[in-house]
Amino acid sequence: MTGRRTRARMLLAGIAGLGLLAACNGPLEGRADEDHAGPPAYGDTFIQASIGDIGGLIPSLTSDQSSHEVGGLIYDGLVKLDKDLNMAPAMAESWTYSKDCLDLTFKLRRDVKWHDGYPFTADDVVFTYQTMINPKTPAPFKEGFLLVKSVDAPDPYTVHVRYDKPYARAVETWGTYILPKHLLQSFAEAGTLRESPQNSHPVGTGPYRFQEWKPGEKVVLLANPDYYEGRPYLSRVVYRVIPSQATIFLELKARGVDYVSTLTGIQYARQTEYPAFRKAYHKYRYPASDYTFLGFNLKDPRFADRRVRRAFAHAINKQELIDGVRLGLAREATGPIRPGTWAYTDKVTRFEYDPAKARELLAEAGWRDRDGDGVVEDKDGKPFTVTIRTNQGNDERKKIAEIIQQRLKEVGVHADIQLIEWAAFIKEFVKPRRFELVVLGLGTGVDPDQYVVWHSSQRGPDQMNRTGYANPEVDALLEAGRSSCVQSERVKYYHRLQEILAEDLPMIFLYYRDALPVVAARIHGVSPAPAGILYNFNEWYVPKAQQRYTSG
Amino acid sequence: MALFALRRLLLSIPLLIGITFVSYVVIGLAPGGPLDFLTPEDPNASPEVRERLIEEFGLDQPIHVQYWHWLKRAVRLDFGRSFLPDGRPVSAKIAERLPVTLFLNLIELAIIVGLAVPIGVLSATRQYSLYDKITTVFVFVGFATPDFWLALLLMILFGVQLGWLPISGLRSLNWEYLSFWQQQWDFLAHLILPIVVATFGGLAGFSRYMRQSMLEVVRQDYVQTARAKGLSERTVISKHALRNALLPVVTILALALPGLIGGSVIIESIFAIPGMGQLMVQSVFSRDYPVVMGNLVIVASLTLVANLIADITYALVDPRIRFGGRRGRG
């Protein structure tokens, strides 16, 4: 039994890929279960607080995280993520690739049933694919399916997928929510999926069955006794919508909710450090899947010089940022690949905090303090002044900008700070690349493919290579990494990619924030892993003696 | 009288159409559109989904055409479906949220009126007394206290520290398993804090209004006459003065009608109550035009009806207006 919600996150983080999303997975540091109050038992209700309501109950049509968290419990995919963020079988027992990576064959489990008792077969998978590529289907993420050449079902328990070109994230694509053909076919063909009963009363194959959705109030799910991996222990899951962050925290203090996906740094470090809270809840901590960075505009001739970028890296003290901005609740980033995933390596060049070295590198690049005013100048006497821009309303990024401003001053670079409202910031500065330095965050997918962020072909205004980085070797590595289905081969490309990026520094990778979830102490079986904690949600339980709610 | 009401009613039809047209255009002019929220800013998002939805929603047509299509359906009370991924009918979305908001606001209004009238009357009759000064201070404190702050303080005290009342929501999560009377108590307990917070703020304005109105009336000649007749002060105030002082209050009450379904965003958000206020704000933020328009039509119609009712009741309770009107037309 492994977690659906991890899969939901994978879909979001993976399919949504490199968007600015915050999910939480990665290596762990948390409190494992200490007390053994009793054997696993069925029963009790699990209450999760969420700031936003779900958009709908066919998650393929939504792009908000709530819909995907709830959808991940109701629906299943052919594959899912295991605790180490590797692909693992779900409704498919196994899968095989052809030698050329163009044919992918899934063998399906024979014991899977829809919640209405209808058997699940390969027809449902083919139907899901056809629905996803149907132009009438308003699914925001269909790219992975559009790369498929054909899908067919030679028998009810085999699915055969063909690609035109090898696609590294092919298997991941099939972690998508499989939709019931027997209930949705007419709606999918007519393009009215959003209006179908399935969108308000879904039937899935997942570990939980839908019970009710009171918009703006809650979603209630009941354990599926016929789940193919065994009935989950927690009998009822209530997803409560509480639109105010302050109220969520008060509910937590009053023990009204059992799980909150992330506390703020100050809540984690200070406001929850009292005995009653520690008795009632366990706090966990692991790197979230997004990193914060200081991005250079490589079009700016000053930053086109790698020595200057390295000087900046030496001037910045990452640990100071982590301590000052995140109260220590973050981890130093050395590259764009999420620590704890198979493609990650920490064997890369690091530029320690060393102002003397920074000044030396600046001098080497021609920047010296020629008039003794504390600011370095080039040979024409033009002082080194830059503007650090970031979006308004993000306190963390503002503080980062302020600390970096101070550190740059130490090495003779004068920095101004400008905070701009989000939409205007992206539209006026980031997209047209009208900036010198930016503080921003980027989400990392489960797969290390980062073609859209680093490839030189992706430098257009609506594309994601926002620093304007171009390096032929990196281009080749990204292409090779993306078109291989052999993990042991891909590892080499991505390790090399991380080495080059760490040397080249198109941006200074600052830190990975920590996700800081809390779970009620009466819930047992929580076991932090690189994938976070929700991956084994179906194994969580409350011992009989500690059960609190009479349900199911 | 009936003719007057009918004429006013007919006049409000073009007015309503005008309101909806202006609203439709203004919402359309607001920066950003529904698609900005449905299709994420993401390299892997598919651009053709955007075009497909624009077509489905009819957003590719000029705004007056869009409005005409909307109006044609709206006169049949069909407000269409939400643009959000749930695709539910607007009427269903409003219908499921209206009862809660209406219920809460009616109770609030009743409490506010019930408290504000005596507070106002007593302050007026004992102008500048200690009582008047204390209520004035109290009322201004209430007026100046931010809802959310008071709500948080009460939640911390009664919800977290004392544990007497639930913090948020409308029902406990084990509500289905409670007995009938437990269910009623549970529901009531959830309402106490939101109602207290909402009335605390509303009380201030209303009681001041009552006080002002009463002060004016007690200075009138007929009140003097009543006193001169030798009536007891109690009769003078309750029979002669209060009735007249209530007249302007009736207008305010009628005009509070649309507010009954508007709901308060702050209170609803902080207490996690799924009401109309949240629906309206969320639909505005996500540019969910059909829901915004559906809400607007209801609020606008109610405002017009409330105006009408205010005018009519005014005429009914105040002979001067009734007769004055006749003379004017004659």
Q: Are A298 and A468 in contact (CB under 8 A)?
A: yes
The pLDDT assigned to B263 comes to 65
| Residue B187, φ and ψ in degrees, nearest 5 | -65, -45
Distances (CA, A) of A389 to A330, A416, A462: 22, 8, 19
The pLDDT assigned to B233 comes to 81
Say which amino acid occupies A413: V
Contact assignment for B43 to A426 by CB distance below 8 Å: no
CB atoms within 10 A of CB A460: 9
The pLDDT assigned to A550 comes to 67
Q: For A302-327, how does the pLDDT look when each residue is reduced to its tens digit (9 = 90+)?
A: 999 999 999 999 999 999 999 999 99
The pLDDT assigned to B39 comes to 56
> Collapsing DSSP states into helix, strand and coil, what is residue A523?
coil
* CA gap A94, A112 in Å, rounded: 15
Task: Check CB contact of A241 with chain B, cutoff 8 Å.
Answer: yes
Q: For tokens 């890929």, what's the residue?
A: A17
* Nearest CA-CA partner of B207 in B81, B86, B103, B114: B114
The pLDDT assigned to A379 comes to 87
Q: Are B42 and A443 in contact (CB under 8 A)?
A: no
* CA gap B85, A198 in Å, rounded: 12
Per-residue pLDDT band at B328 (split at 50, 70, 90): very low
Q: For tokens 């699940």, what's the residue?
A: A120
Helix axes A355-364, A306-315, angle to 10 degrees: 160
Q: For tokens 């900008």, what's the residue?
A: A401
Range picked from A27-36, B119-128, B242-251 for highest mean pLDDT: B119-128
Contact assignment for A140 to B38 by CB distance below 8 Å: yes
Percent of chain B with pLDDT over 70: 90
The pLDDT assigned to A2 comes to 38
Residues in chain A: 552
The pLDDT assigned to B47 comes to 61
* Nearest CA-CA partner of A296 in A465, A477, A426, A461: A465
pTM above 0.90, yes or no: no
The pLDDT assigned to A20 comes to 34
Check residues B330 and A174 and name the one with the higher pLDDT. Answer: A174
Residue B142 has pLDDT above 50, yes or no: yes
B84-102 core/surface letters (b: 16 or more CB in 10 A; e: else): bbbbbbbeebbebbbebbe
The pLDDT assigned to A290 comes to 86
CB atoms within 10 A of CB A339: 22
The pLDDT assigned to B267 comes to 86
Task: Check CB contact of A264 with chain B, cutoff 8 Å.
Answer: no
Q: Which candidate from A17, A138, A251 shows the least CB-CB separation from B44? A: A17
Percent of chain B with pLDDT over 90: 4
Residue B231 has pLDDT above 60, yes or no: yes
Residue B329 has pLDDT above 90, yes or no: no
Task: Check CB contact of A140 with chain B, cutoff 8 Å.
Answer: yes
Check residues A238 and B73 and name the one with the higher pLDDT. Answer: A238
Q: Are B38 and A140 in contact (CB under 8 A)?
A: yes
Q: Residue ranges of chain A with pLDDT lower than 70?
A: 1-37, 423, 462, 550-552
DSSP for A33-79? P----S----EEEEEEEESS--S-S-GGG--SHHHHHHHHHH---SE
Mean pLDDT of B83-98: 87
Contact assignment for B272 to A61 by CB distance below 8 Å: no
Per-residue pLDDT band at B32 (split at 50, 70, 90): low
Alpha helix ranges (H) inside A416-524: 422-424, 451-454, 472-482, 487-504
Q: Which candidate from B85, B163, B169 shows the least CB-CB separation from A55? A: B85
Rg of chain A (C-alpha set): 25
